[in-house]
Chains A and B, each alone.
Chain A
Amino acid sequence: MAAKRTGAARAKPRGKLEEPQPASPLREIMESQLDLWRRLNTKEGTDVGEATKEMAPLVAEHWAKIFDELSRSAAMMQTSENPLAIQEGLPKHLLANYNEMLKRVFLSKSFAARSGSSVRGLLEGVKAWNEAMDGTLKAMRIPSKADIDEIHEELYNLSKRVDYLVKSLENGGARGRRERRR
């Protein structure tokens, strides 16, 4: 596993991100994450591959920003009167940056399409379960959810009708009173 990570770290440099950086655990995480994206991206024609194309630049940008901030903070800690304050601020910055990355991912059309499809699958599953339960209850001659919904709908229509009748009576009554005054 270690050998594999080292191999990833030696991948051919490409773009600003992969300029030589001091070795660090974060660097290793970044490399393995990028390596994962690359490997997923080889599955051409699959959803994952397509998603990777859109998401990989966001992830790369996110890590680039984090490294910038780490370098800046390290330099500031050397001279600051209160280096701990800088250290304490760092996790907040990293989380805020991660938050922004996720927001950008969620705001992408490809995420909307994929999450839409997942939600649809989930909802179809719930529907199928409901139908199965209804079928079972019907077979046992027990009122099902569909039966109760039917009653609810009936009650709703009745209460709506009553409301409109009451309102039209009230309006008619008010009109009648006005006409009598004249």
Chain B
Amino acid sequence: MATNDSALSRWMNSLDVLVEKRYRQAAAGMKLLANPPAADVGTSECEVAYKKDKMRLLHYTGGPQKKAPVPVLLVYALINRPYILDLQQDRSVVQTLLGRGLDIYMIDWGKPTDGDRFLGLEDYVERYMDDCFDVIMEKSGQKSISVLGYCIGGYIASVYASLHPEKVRNIALMASPLDFGIEEGMLHLWTKAEYFNPELVVEAFGNAPSEFLNSGFTMLDPIGNTVIKYMGLAENIEDKEFVDMFFRMEKWLSDGIPVAGAFYIDLIRDGYQRNLFVKNQLRVNSRKASVDNLTMPMLAIVAEKDHIVPPSSTLGLLKVAPSKDKTTFSFPTGHIGLSVGSGSHKDLWPKVAKWFLDHSKTPSSKR
């Protein structure tokens, strides 16, 4: 009985502290509602080096004056906006790579509208990306450049590299779904041919709507994405840095864009359902996208807690590619944490920058 009494008194004593804390949090919450942070994103200085239809090739102009001769092209995914790679000054992949002397370009695919429903993998690879490569090679005077693909951007980049190996000096694949034959993760299960028909999505909507895609992503971590993250906000509501970052992330998450219909079918049918690329059977514009051509240095950047793209999916391509120079950086974070996590910017991205710098040393002659 004495034990219970003292436990009760300890509980009562700490209740004061908790009530005070909750009042403070409520007051901070009210202030936040009245004045939400601006959530500026993608603030690194850049110029548009090339534009075609809705796609823009951004060239970042900051960083040291003297840069490594071989530029790096960041190929973003077709889902949500590319500024996740440049979310805020101290958590920006673009800034980290620029700061270490790399010449950085990034593709912003733009937001597809109804008229873009016919854009397929072939268009993204052979029309848009090939043009970007030509523009960058022309500007830099290099015969080949490096490329870093994030998520689906890694799939597009590696298919491009298999079709145009002479233009790709090095390839880095960050959390990219490449080997779809793995039996891991919800997306791989839900998109199986016996359960899902991507043609039907396109017949109904034209493009795959962002709301449709987001509902699937939310279900990958159902309570985490709908309740736990807001509890985290409440808990840290007095921490300005946390709140600013939270709002930036929310802005990005709610800034979804549709995926062009034909590309969606190509990705689900030829990728998720048939795994044609890793099986060396993918054809783009009647040309074989042969993994045997992936002889350039390859870097896999995988997130150990990635519930969108399991690491084995990215590493599966490295297993079948004949390149003799393969490196893997595995980091204990999630799919998005790779690009915005403070730990990633402290420990991972400097290593990635070094990898690109080390693999850019051999002089490359003019075209």
Contacts and interface: CB of A to CB of B under 8 A. Distances in A.
Interface of A: 77-85, 87-88, 91-92, 95-96, 98-99, 102-103, 106-107, 109, 112-113, 115-116, 119-120, 123-124, 126-127, 130, 148-149, 152-153, 155-157, 159-160, 163
B203 interface: yes
B329 interface: no
A49 to B, nearest CB: 20
A107 B115 CA distance: 35
Contact of A112 (B14, B15, B190): B190
Given A107-B186, A116-B195, 18 more contacts: A78-B4, A80-B10, A82-B14, A84-B11, A85-B14, A92-B228, A95-B231, A96-B228, A98-B223, A102-B222, A112-B190, A123-B200, A127-B203, A148-B114, A149-B206, A156-B118, A159-B53, A163-B127
A102 B223 contact: yes
Nearest to B192: A112
Interface residues of B, number: 40
B225 to A, nearest CB: 9
B197 interface: yes
A72 to B, nearest CB: 15
Contacts of B17: 84
B237 to A, nearest CB: 15
B201 interface: yes
A165 B46 CA distance: 31
A144 to B, nearest CB: 13
Interface string B13-36: 011011000000000000000000
B11 A95 contact: no
Contacts of A78: 3-4, 7
Interface string B97-130: 0000000000000000011011100010001000
Contact of B196 (A80, A116, A153): A116
Contact of B11 (A83, A96, A127): A83
A120 B115 contact: no
28 contacts: A77-B7, A77-B11, A78-B3, A81-B10, A83-B7, A83-B11, A84-B15, A95-B227, A96-B223, A99-B223, A99-B228, A102-B222, A106-B220, A107-B189, A109-B189, A115-B190, A116-B190, A116-B194, A116-B195, A119-B196, A120-B197, A124-B204, A126-B205, A130-B204, A149-B114, A157-B118, A159-B53, A163-B127
A84 B4 CA distance: 15
The 10 closest A-B pairs by CB, nearest first: A116-B195, A99-B223, A126-B204, A84-B14, A156-B118, A152-B115, A123-B204, A123-B200, A83-B11, A102-B222
Given A99-B221, A153-B118, A163-B127, A88 B7 contact: no
Interface in B231-278: 231
A157 B223 CA distance: 44
A134 to B, nearest CB: 12
Contacts of B64: none
A160 B123 contact: yes
B219 interface: yes
A155 B115 contact: yes
Contact of B204 (A91, A99, A113, A127): A127
Contacts of A156: 115, 118-119
B332 interface: no
B204 A149 contact: no
Contacts of B4: 78
Nearest to B232: A92
Interface in B194-217: 194-197, 200-201, 203-206
B37 interface: no
Contacts of A84: 11, 14-15, 17-18
B202 to A, nearest CB: 10
B228 A82 contact: no
Nearest to B197: A120
A123 B203 contact: yes
Contacts of A160: 123, 127
A76 to B, nearest CB: 10
Contacts of A153: 118
Nearest to A94: B223
A83 B10 contact: yes
Interface in B171-186: 186
B222 A99 contact: yes
B117 A152 contact: yes
A163 to B, nearest CB: 5
A159 B200 CA distance: 26
A102 B222 CA distance: 7
Contacts of B117: 149, 152
Given A83-B10, A149-B117, A127 B200 contact: yes
Nearest to B7: A78
Contacts of B18: 84, 88
A79 to B, nearest CB: 7
Given A84-B11, A148-B114, A155-B115, A95 B203 contact: no
